[in-house]
Amino acid sequence: MGQLDGKVAWVSGGSGGIGSATLRRFVKEGAAVVCSDINDEDGEKLVQELKSAGGRATYSHCDVSDPDQVKASIDGTVEEFGRIDILFNNAATSTGGYVADLDLDGWDKSLKIMLSAALYGMKAAIPYMLKQGGGSIVSTSSIYGLVSTAGNAPYSTAKAGLINLTRTTAIEYGRKGIRANCVCPGAVETPMLDSVVGLGLKSREAIGDMHALGRTIQADEVANLVLFLAGEESSGITGQAIPIDGGLLIGCDLTGVPPLQ
């Protein structure tokens, strides 16, 4: 038996990176899944892969910055599969710049896709979860929801807000059987890391060396944590923001003493 047998999961930003890794993991554990994204080609290709492996999967074109599209996608999930047990808010975007120079359209887009979209998903899914007697909400925050860096205000602000939205949701609905948690990845091998490396300020090797593990994180490793939080093995955990960062945040090197190689 799989950990998610009989469960139905909706995943935003599902066509690549953490989203696709998580969908594969969910299907392997017995869940029916909906891949929500605006990247239709990659999303449809992934769903065909999941179906070919024997999974129950469907693709839903959904711009998560539009609350009507999010509701329609989640309503469609329930219409097709009869329920929704897992909501994984994972869609993301990236823009930056110093605060006084920020493009306001980019700021608004970042908050809509990475913060407001999670609220839209919760508003659509929670009523179904209440009728069912429970559910699990997992959202992708970031280590930049816990700390920040120059030139990153839109992303960091959205991810920090997502953590407190998650905590509030956990408090409000915990007695109704609904849990809400965040994963907070560090540097994960996804296209977003490619864009960071593309800035030319730090190499991929230098970024990996900042981690206690001496390497960056794989999307499959994040998917394993999402699976844990989505399933019953984490039944006592709610309202948490859990770093999965290879030890990136645990150290502050003032001495220059090297770790063991």
List residues with catalytic annotation: 155
Nearest to 13 by CA among 119, 99, 118, 103: 118
- Coil/strand/helix, residue 180: strand
State how far the Cα of 52 lies from the Cα of 89, in Å rounded to an integer: 25
Write the DSSP symbol of residue 94.
-
In DSSP notation, 198-248 reads HTSSS-HHHHHHTSTTSS-B-HHHHHHHHHHHHSGGGTT--S-EEEESTTT
Pairing of strands 32-37, 8-12: parallel
